[in-house]
Amino acid sequence: MELMISFALRMLRHRKAGFAGAFVALLCAAALVTACGMLLETGLRGGVAPERYAGAPVIVAGDQYVRQTKESGKEKAKLLSERRWIPASLARDLARVPGVTKVVTEVSFPYAGFTAHGWESAALTPFTLAEGRAPEAADEVVVDARHAGRTIPGHRVVGVTAQALPGQDTIFFTTGEARRLAGRDGLVTAIGVWPGVEVAVEVAVKGAMVYTGDERGAVEFPEAENSRVRLISLGGALGGTSLLVAILVVVGTFALSMQQRRRELALLRAVGALPGQVRRLVGGEALLIGAVAGALGSGAGIALGFWLRSRFVDLGAMPANLRLVVSPFPSIVAVVTTLVVAWVAARVSARRTTRIRPVEALGETALPAAGIPPVRLVAGLLALAGGVVLTIVLAGLNTEAASSPVTMLTALVWTIAVALLGPLVARAVTALPLRAPGVAGYLARKSLRAGTGRLASVIVPLTLMTAMTCTILFVQTTMGHAAQDELGAGVRADHVLGPGASAAAARQVPGVRAVTEVLRTSVRIDLEKYAVQAVTPGGLDRTMDLDVVAGSLDGLGDTSAAISRTAADRLDAGLGDRVGLVLGDGTPAEVRVVAIYARGLGFGDLTLSRGLVAGHVDDPRGTVLVSGGDREALRRASGGAVLDGAGAAEVDSPNAAVTYVAMGLIIAFCAIAVVNTLAMSTLARSRELALLRVVGTTRRQAARMLRAETLTATVVAVALGTAISLVTLAAFSAGMTGSALPYVPSGAYLAVVAAVAALALAATAVPGRFALSCRPADTLAARE
């Protein structure tokens, strides 16, 4: 064993270029796994330090989860989309607890870009006045130090605090005015409690809980909890996809490396090395490379994790005060994973050479194998069958949470099938009557037919990059285009008023025929989340068309609902059925289905009455759809921005940018694999190119030959990658939109193809120029 390790070290020292490609692939894989692990761990264990609640040792607030006990007796919990409020009367009960010295109630709600409160809650931070006085009248406010000197329309600034919180802009009203503006009679957001000694604070109100330490930060920043849930999902999906891509790339890289070393390994077998010894040698080399690449890659992955966090914060998908968890576990997992992947990839790649007899092994170096190994053929056919099954499954999924991971997995399984059956694909390509002009074309045609194994190795990463890039990009465009089409066809309003506009004032504008107030939120039904639009029912048919396929919207009210066709299928609900749901703040409700509509992507899974929902959302302002009326008159009367009716059809997809950033890492990894593979393949042909130069081929002819080969491989790979992505996207679109036609912008697709081709040509041209710049005699005389 020691002899094999020593031999492996010597081989690595003398074949640095041959192992560089495997090292780069493993390093990138370790970095990706580490970064994804950091995101996942932050989602599981990350915490947010309190800011506004920092001055209160104990906070009593609502339970921010909806809970359900399953038949097995196990309780499951899902995060609410809105803040759960608690009775203000609970403060009196807490004040009577022995040992409690002070109790402070607070309300919190958005107001003109601020987080607004009543002045009584200033003690929670605590806030103190730097100048001025506390508000005493309904039109008086106090602003934080960051906004000293600012004017607030409709109010008088009578005080400025000495403090300003880093994560929020704060404004204070009088206690009575704050509760009136919040619109939650008898309810408060939270209660701060100051025990004089260690006191067990208990609450007897359903839905109320006690929070201490960093738990207070989770109550203060409910969006941080949403971000944690998103990070768990994103980290898991991205990590799983990264790992599968890494395995595919690393196996391909090692396969190419072993292919280039067949003569070397065959000579070892010919001089008496046993198959087990050669396998241990190859495995030892892989472990040495994997250990170094894993260690360096995990360090790079930590930096990558911090970069991802900064991008997510910039995109608003993650609050700045959600701390990134840094622990040794992601790095350990990355190193172990890298070692396992490297060892398995090397052993699998060298399997054929180590199992044949020495004389046959030497023959293999002179004459490539006539057929594909049976095991590889069976694995490829199984991968094809897996791709078919996953495609069928994907076509039946109609929720984004379920379809997103299956979409990436489907594209990967199809690509794995191409990788396993690559030699057959390459042989089929070279069997075509390829024609290219001139000496370079003739040489390229002969070279491709003689090196089908090399062609297969080059096709795989190019196919992977094309398939993954197209799938990632066009999943988003397909969903966005479908929702945009539904909104564009369904909005009948002439104008859209932005948040804060007065619907009552808009109704008084001459020429206005109908006004519909719209709120966006979500509800839980059996713990599953459903998107909701809450509307004022009067005149709804004049401002929007939901494409009702059953029932009528005339019966929409506080105890009824319209439901999309997709949601109706998921819930197995029909007209007249009663559906139990939990509103965004945890309040249970039951509604009767009075209509089923087709345009669920654009208008939400459920349409409820605004009267039912408005008192249960953090921000009840929403938008206003107006049919008729003059634009300028509406702007003056409502006090809000006015858009054309088409403006309502603009689909906001904040998660799309996050997905692009996260999955962009996969695309970057695929691009590195392309450069890696093509560079290795080209540099390994130095002797071949030197022989061509010796027999009279010019440097320009040899360079053109390399370009022709690369373009052939690129055309084949782009065709395969496009086919894989189209099959995957068609299944995704069929499940999510009801149409098997995905939306693929021609400009974006051509940009992908151009980027793949440019990358392939550059990855061939640079090492090719280096190989051709050497003197042929020197190259032929050099030792391998």
Taking a C-beta distance cutoff of 8 angstroms, is the pair 142, 117 a contact? no
Number of domains in the chain: 4
3-state secondary structure (DSSP) of residue 212 = coil
Same domain? For 610 and 630 the reply is yes
What single-letter DSSP state applies at residue 309? Answer: H
Taking a C-beta distance cutoff of 8 angstroms, is the pair 474, 729 a contact? yes
Same domain? For 202 and 66 the reply is yes
Q: Which residues contact 107 (CB under 8 A, 6 or more apart)?
A: 117, 118, 121, 178, 179, 182, 184, 188, 189
pLDDT at 648: 47
Q: Is residue 647 assigned to a domain?
A: no
Q: Report the Cα 486 to chain-centroid distance in Å.
A: 24
pLDDT at 707: 85
Q: Is residue 296 assigned to a domain?
A: yes
Q: Is residue 493 assigned to a domain?
A: no
State the distance between the two ends of the chain, measured CA to CA, in whole angstroms.
25
Instruction: Please count the residues of the chain.
Output: 784
pTM of the model: 0.82
Residues of the chain with pLDDT under 50: 1, 3, 367, 370, 646-652, 783-784
CB half-sphere exposure, 261, CA atoms < 13 A: 28
Burial per residue of 735-769, b for 16 or more beta-carbon CB atoms within 10 angstroms, e otherwise: bbbeeeebbbeeeebeebbeebbebbbebbbebbe
Of the three residues 317, 335, 366, the one that is the final residue of a domain is 366
Same domain? For 2 and 132 the reply is no
pLDDT at 749: 94
Taking a C-beta distance cutoff of 8 angstroms, is the pair 593, 563 a contact? yes
Q: Is residue 313 assigned to a domain?
A: yes
Q: Which of 219, 644, 698, 682 is nearest to 438 (CA)?
A: 698
Alpha-carbon distance of 251 to 344, in angstroms, equals 8
Q: Is residue 645 assigned to a domain?
A: no
Same domain? For 24 and 81 the reply is no
Q: Is residue 494 assigned to a domain?
A: no
Of the three residues 213, 242, 276, the one that is the final residue of a domain is 213
Same domain? For 753 and 657 the reply is yes
Alpha-carbon distance of 656 to 480, in angstroms, equals 9
Same domain? For 718 and 780 the reply is yes
pLDDT at 646: 47
In one letter, which amino acid is 657? Answer: A
Q: What is the CA radius of gyration of the chain?
A: 32
Q: Is residue 646 assigned to a domain?
A: no
Of the three residues 351, 366, 381, the one that is the final residue of a domain is 366
Kindly report the number of other CB atoms within 10 A of residue 437's CB atom: 9
Bridge partners, residue 187, by sequence: 87
Same domain? For 422 and 553 the reply is no
Q: Which of 534, 530, 510, 513 is nearest to 522 (CA)?
A: 530
pLDDT at 355: 65
Taking a C-beta distance cutoff of 8 angstroms, is the pair 278, 354 a contact? yes
Q: In what order do the strands lie in the sheet with 208-211?
A: 100-106, 190-195, 58-62, 208-211
Strands (E), 14-124: 58-62, 65-69, 75-79, 86-87, 100-106, 108-111, 114-118
Q: Which of 125, 117, 124 is nearest to 103 (CA)?
A: 124
Q: Report the Cα 394 to chain-centroid distance in Å.
A: 18
Same domain? For 598 and 506 the reply is yes
Alpha-carbon distance of 672 to 670, in angstroms, equals 5
Same domain? For 360 and 422 the reply is no
What domain range includes position 66?
A: 58-213
Query: Contacts for 357-366 with beta carbons within 8 Å, 24 or more apart?
Result: 357/269, 358/266, 358/269, 358/270, 359/270, 361/262, 361/265, 361/266, 361/269, 361/270, 362/263, 362/266, 362/267, 362/270, 364/262, 364/266, 365/262, 365/263, 365/266
Query: Rounded to 5, what percent of the chain is helix, strand, coil?
Result: 60, 15, 25
Q: Which helix (DSSP H) or strand (DSSP E) does residue 623 occupy?
A: strand 623-628
Same domain? For 227 and 344 the reply is yes
Q: Is residue 509 assigned to a domain?
A: yes
Same domain? For 539 and 614 the reply is yes
Same domain? For 362 and 398 the reply is no
pLDDT at 359: 61
DSSP string, 515-532: EEEEEEEEEEETTEEEEE
Q: What is the 3-state secondary structure (H, E, C) of 252-308?
A: HHHHHHHHHCHHHHHHHHHCCCCHHHHHHHHHHHHHHHHHHHHHHHHHHHHHHHHHH
Alpha-carbon distance of 134 to 137, in angstroms, equals 10
Longest dimension (CA), the chain: 100
Q: Report the relative pairing of strands 606-609 and 528-535 from DSSP bridges.
A: parallel
